[in-house]
Structures are given as C-alpha cells and as structure tokens.
Amino acid sequence: MTTATPDVRDLLALPMPTRELHGLGWHASLLTLGGVKWDSKLSESEAIELIHRAIDLGVNTIDTAAVYAGGESERRLGKALRDRREGVWVNTKTTKRSYDEAREQIDLSFKQLQTDVIDLMFVHSVEDDDDVSKILDSNGVLRAIESYRDAGQIKHIGVSGHWYKQNMTRVIEAYPFEAILCPVGIFNEAYGYSYLKEVVPVARERGLAVLGMKVMAAGRVAHTADPTPYLRFAIGQDIDTAVIGCESIEQLEFNVATVKSRPEPMSDAEAEGYFEEARRVTEHFDSGEFSWVSHYR
C-alpha cells in the first residue's frame, strides 16, 4: 500500500461519503475507524496522531471496546479526543453479562474515554445459547445499559456478534436494539457463513442501524494480491458504515482514498471470483491475529 502518488493525494482531498446510522440521527462517515491495531501495534503518540489524521480526513465515527488491548484502545482514544470530541461519534462495547459487572466495566469506559456521553454502547459478541439467556436476562447487562441511557449518558444500545449468526437474529428479535455490528466481508461469504444474507435483512426489517466489521479479515487481507476489492465489496453492501482498524497512517489513507473514490458496487459474480483467495489467506493466522473463521469450518 502506498499513499505517495498524486492520484491518492487528490482522492484524500475529496469529501468523505456518509450514510445515516439508520434511525440514530447521525450521518456516519462510510469508513469508521476501528479501535484495534493502533491500540497495540503503535506507540501512544503514534496512535493519537493516527486518530487525529482520521478526523482530519473526514472520519467522524470511531468504534472501540473496553477489552481492546486491556483498555489501551479506550485510553488512547480518550486522550486523542480530549480537545476534539465535538463532531465525533463514539461506539464502545461491554463484554459483561451481569448488571453489576456491566456497570463496573461501563464506568471504566467513561473514565478511559474521558467523556460524559457514549453515543452507542454494544453488548459485545453474542455467542452460544447460554450467552443469549444471560444477555436477555431482565436483571443483567441490558438493565445496566438502560440505567445509563435513562440518565442521558448512553444514547443508543446495540449488539455485536462474530460467530453465532442464528443467535444474533434471536436477540434482535427479542429486544429492541437500535444497531448491530457484524461481519460483512468477502471472507464470510467465501465460507458460506453470511450475516449479510441472514442477519442484516432481519435488522433492516426492524429498523436497526447496521455497522459492518471483519472487512479485512483481522488483517489477513494484507496477504491478498490487492486489498481494494475487499473494501469495495463491503461498502457496496446494505450497511451504514464499515469499521476498519489501521496500524499506520499509510493504511488509513489507503482505506480513506478507496472509500472517497466511490467505487461501483461489486456484483455477486465478481465477488465469487475472490472466494478462493479469501479462503486461502485465512487458512492460517499469524501470532496475535484473531482467528475468527475457525468457527465457520
């Protein structure tokens, strides 16, 4: 990836495309800065510089979580937004399921983010049937988040999931979530494990915002011939924004330039042409990468 050519510099100067986070009243940059990679692969000062560069390029939506790099993602984001919070939408996530533990983790998120208001709080990573029961417990995590919402500290409630698509559908049918965060990359389609076909339509029927993740397969896209088609595929789907982590300003600018070029949506036939490569580069993961496709096999 390179950002040295005049063409890329010209693209970076263009306006950032936006889409409404459906029903939430926010026009999100089509590219959301994910909270991973810069949380652990960069120094604190480099991470803050990357976040500021993203904002300068028109990225107005940032996604993080309390558990990313042991809280380092939220801490760095909080420092980066200390004087730049206005005009930036922040998502974070709780992994806890009980009322008390969720409140403890959410309190920590407010402290680490150095903010009084969180725009969107996700119940993070829906898993097996037991997890669904815990999430939907009337005295659990949702009651905790609702208490902050009722106090005006959390604006919206969402849910995320990586592996159990059928349970993602179950929870959004059982509770009035306002947003989902789920995998939308070619990689999922290549393994026949599609949130786009099975979960997103249900979310849209219920009026939910849709944020897409795993566009770059936790970084494995670096092993493809060209990452551009993978990002092009994702932003051509029925999503409101694509959440992508970056470990360098170079990567950030490449992704922003791709989005600002407003590529044509990819046909199903063209996407299928990348399935073999997508499966090949996700057969193995390097140390430290999140081997999210193991469940699909």
User: What residue ranges in 57-199 does DSSP mark as E strands?
Assistant: 61-63, 89-94, 118-123, 154-160, 179-183
Percent of all residues in the chain with a pLDDT value above 70, rounded to a whole number: 97
pTM of the model: 0.95
Structure confidence at residue 85 (pLDDT): 94
The whole-number average pLDDT for the span 262-273 is: 97
Residue of higher predicted confidence among 294 and 114 = 114
Nearest to 127 by CA among 96, 164, 160: 164
Confidence band, pLDDT 50/70/90 cuts, at residue 60: very high
Asked if residue 1 has pLDDT above 50, the reply is no
CA angle 259, 262, 263 (to 5 degrees): 100
> To the nearest whole number, what is the mean pLDDT of the chain?
95
Structure confidence at residue 291 (pLDDT): 75
Structure confidence at residue 295 (pLDDT): 74
The whole-number average pLDDT for the span 136-158 is: 98
The whole-number average pLDDT for the span 203-225 is: 95
Confidence band, pLDDT 50/70/90 cuts, at residue 2: very low
Nearest to 177 by CA among 132, 130, 120, 131: 120
The 3-state DSSP class for residue 176 equals coil
The whole-number average pLDDT for the span 163-183 is: 97
Percent of all residues in the chain with a pLDDT value above 90, rounded to a whole number: 91
Looking up tokens 């936790």 gives: 218
CA-CA distance, 25 to 14, in Å (whole number)?
24
Structure confidence at residue 297 (pLDDT): 66
The whole-number average pLDDT for the span 3-29 is: 88
